[in-house]
Amino acid sequence: MWKFLHRLSSLKYFYEWSGKWVPWLLGLTAVLMLVGLYWGLLVAPADYQQGESYRIIYVHVPSAWMSMFVYVVMAGAGFVAIVWRTKLSEIVVSECAIIGATFTALALVTGMLWGKPTWGTYWQWDARMTSELILLFLYFGIIAVHSVIEEPRTAARVASILAIIGVINIPIIHYSVTWWSSLHQPNMQLISKTPSVHPSMLYPLLVMATAFQFYFVSLLLIRMRNAILYRERITNWVKNSLARD
Amino acid sequence: MQEFFYMDGKALYVWGSYGVTLVALLAGLALARLRKKRILREIKESLEQ
A13-to-A10, A18, A48, A79 alpha-carbon distances in Å = 5, 9, 53, 22
Sort out which chain A residues have CB atoms less than 8 A from B18's CB and list them: 37, 41, 56, 59
Query: Between chains, do B14 and A55 touch, taking CB under 8 Å as contact?
Result: yes
Q: Are A113 and A237 in contact (CB under 8 A)?
A: no
Q: What is the pLDDT of residue A245?
A: 57
* Residue B16 phi, psi (nearest 5): -60, -45
Per residue in A165-209, pLDDT (tens digit) is 999 999 999 999 888 888 888 888 877 767 788 888 899 999 999
Per residue in A40-68, pLDDT (tens digit) is 999 888 888 888 889 999 999 999 999 99
User: How far away is chain A from the Cα of B48, in angstroms, using its nearest Cα?
Assistant: 11
Q: What is the pLDDT of residue A218?
A: 98
Q: Are A54 and A133 in contact (CB under 8 A)?
A: no
Per residue in B29-48, pLDDT (tens digit) is 999 999 999 999 998 888 87
User: How far away is chain A from the Cα of B43, in angstroms, using its nearest Cα?
Assistant: 6
Residue of A52, A66, A70, A215 to mutate when probing chain B, most B C-beta within 10 A: A52
